[in-house]
Amino acid sequence: METPSACWDNWVGEALETLYSLKVLRSLRPICLRSSQPREFGADDDAFQVFDEMQHWDRSSVEVEIAETTFSRWMHDTPSSGDEIVCSATGGDGKAGASYEKFKKLILFSGNDYLGLSSHPTIGKAVAKAAQEHGMGPRGSALICGYTNYHRLLESSLADLKKKEDCLLCPTGFAANMALMTAIGSIGTLLAGNSIPSEDEKIAVFSDALNHASIIDGIRLTERQKSVKVYVYRHCDMSHLNMLLSNCRMRKKVVVTDSLFSMDGDYAPMVELADLRKRHGFLLVIDDAHGTFVCGKNGGGVAEEFNCEKDVDICIGTLSKAAGCHGGFIACSKKWKLLIQSRGRSFIFSTAALVPVAAAGHAAVKVAKLEKWRREAIWNRVKDFHLLTGIPVTSHIISLVVGSEDKALQASRHLLQSGFHVTAIRPPTVPPNSCRLRVALSAVHTREDLENLAAALSRCINFQDTRIYDSNAYARL
């Protein structure tokens, strides 16, 4: 019996042959920016610095200010289009229309900069150097002129991190999921002679009920191609997934799931998924947006954490969270990359990332891997939160389900008054009556930050009555 990877490798290969015969197989042709060739950073590189503990500038990723006008509108839940005055007394330029406001300092507990890398000087220097030498770089889609040696170097480092053969950069994580799902859907069409496939020839896509909106929108777009049949399984319910897989007679099966769910903070059951993959022969796709760089000994993500990297066929990731930069990526085989770059519309019709952004991403991958203390620090903060509140949290995303929208807003306003930026998550992001406070921990939070946050939380919610996972999961697809 062929392995899942072998079966899908054959199907993707057939799809690529069809694209080639139709003369629509697309290629990436890197433009070489030569004024200063990007290279692998070395220990003797003056521009590349790593540190073994928190530095003073690290705190800028969690210490923020908002204008008193913004604070007032937030406290009264007044709708805003972001037009509040943001000119400080020290930063005003004296021009007509400039006003001076008082500002309120807040500790940020709602961001996704999990390792605090957004303020790292090595990453900042990489951005500045690339911008000084190349400006923003060639402006065009990656398939035309936007793909450079900087983008290729970043792709290679991400493929190495994810232990995959290759990698495709996308404008955002959202675009990455959209591109992958539409490419998957195209296989059924291509293998059916570029027409609507029969029911048996369609691709069965099994999606967790609480998958990210980008996966859901990608599946919806793929459904319009009439080449897939979608099954939604209950959140992390492997018995339900096994039943759906067992009753499905289609050969081509795909299971797609978040690895770490952004609104609940729980993990996909990776070991069980790997076992089901061996039994049913499906393609396993994970969106590791919130696990990449944080989980695993080397920051390889949730699959590395659960020792099942080889069981994951395709891994979606982002550079806009723990890497502190911007952009998305798809770590996969070379064949899958060729297919996605030829059929993933959100990739094909988007302008490539700016060269300085690609340079920043590459620096961030290296810094994240070398500064292991950051991963140790964030997991220490997870332990601190558990010890201070008694709530059995398991990740750096802490979802405190309080119930009604009024309760969530009231708690968020109390935290705001106490100096903490923690937003209330409400429908349609989460189901009605499961509104919550989403607390996101960072490696550059301190124990004192956690003690103060826990004290403020204790005055607005009851820890013993607070759920951390929403047991009333519902399908958003």
For residues 162 and 311, state if they share a domain: yes
Q: What is the pLDDT of residues 369-404, one digit of tens each?
A: 999 999 999 999 999 999 999 999 999 999 999 999
- Binning pLDDT at 50, 70 and 90, where does residue 69 land? confident
What does the block give as tokens for 441? Answer: 């921990």
Residues 396-437 pLDDT 10s: 999 999 999 999 999 999 999 999 999 999 998 888 998 999
Question: Residue 89 has what pLDDT?
Answer: 46
CA-closest candidate to residue 422, choices 439, 444, 402:
439
Residue 73: per-residue pLDDT: 87
Q: Are 401 and 466 in contact (CB under 8 A)?
A: yes
Shared domain for 360 and 235, answered yes or no, is yes
340 and 350 inside one domain: yes
67-74 mean pLDDT: 87
DSSP β-bridge partners for residue 438: 399
Quick one: 436 and 336 in the same domain? Answer: no
Domains: count for the chain? 2
Q: E strand or H helix at 25, and its extent? A: none
Beta bridge partners of 233: 208
Q: Tell me whether residue 11 is in a domain.
A: no
Residues 6+ apart with CB under 8 A from 161: 292, 298, 299, 300, 331, 365, 369
The two most distant CA atoms of the chain are separated, in Å, by 75
Q: Is residue 73 part of a domain?
A: no
Instruction: Mark whether 256 and 277 lie in a shared domain.
Output: yes
Average of per-residue pLDDT values in the chain: 91
Chain segment 83-110, per-residue pLDDT in tens = 766 554 445 454 544 456 788 999 999 9
Residue 475 has pLDDT above 90, yes or no: no
How far does the chain reach from its first CA to its final CA, in angstroms?
33
Q: Which of 344, 370, 396 is the last residue of a domain?
A: 370
| Mean pLDDT, rounded, for 22-30 | 92
- Together in a domain, 363 and 224: yes
φ, ψ for residue 442, nearest 5 deg? -130, 155
| Percent of the chain whose pLDDT exceeds 70 | 91
Cα dihedral value 384, 390, 393, 398, nearest 10: -80
Q: What is the pLDDT of residues 260-314, one digit of tens each?
A: 999 999 999 999 999 999 999 999 999 999 999 999 999 999 999 999 999 999 9
Cα 287 to the center of its chain, rounded Å: 7
pLDDT band of 58, cuts 50, 70, 90: very high
The answer to whether 344 and 178 are in contact (CB under 8 A) is yes
Q: Give the end of a domain, one of 353, 370, 387.
A: 370
217 in helix, strand or coil?
helix
| Structure confidence at residue 96 (pLDDT) | 46
Q: What is the DSSP secondary-structure string of 105-131?
A: EEEE-S-S-TT-GGG-HHHHHHHHHHH
Task: Print the domain residue range for 405.
Answer: 372-467
- 294 and 380 both lie in a single domain: no
Same domain, 394 and 362: no
Q: Which of 328, 350, 370 is the last residue of a domain?
A: 370
Q: Which pLDDT value is given to residue 43?
A: 45
Position with higher pLDDT, 133 vs 78: 133
Give pLDDT tens digits for 435-473: 999 999 999 999 999 999 999 999 998 887 776 665 455
Verify that 317 and 386 share a domain, yes or no: no
How are beta strands 328-332 and 314-318 bridged, if at all? antiparallel
CATH number at residue 332: 3.40.640.10
Cα–Cα dist 329/353, whole Å:
11
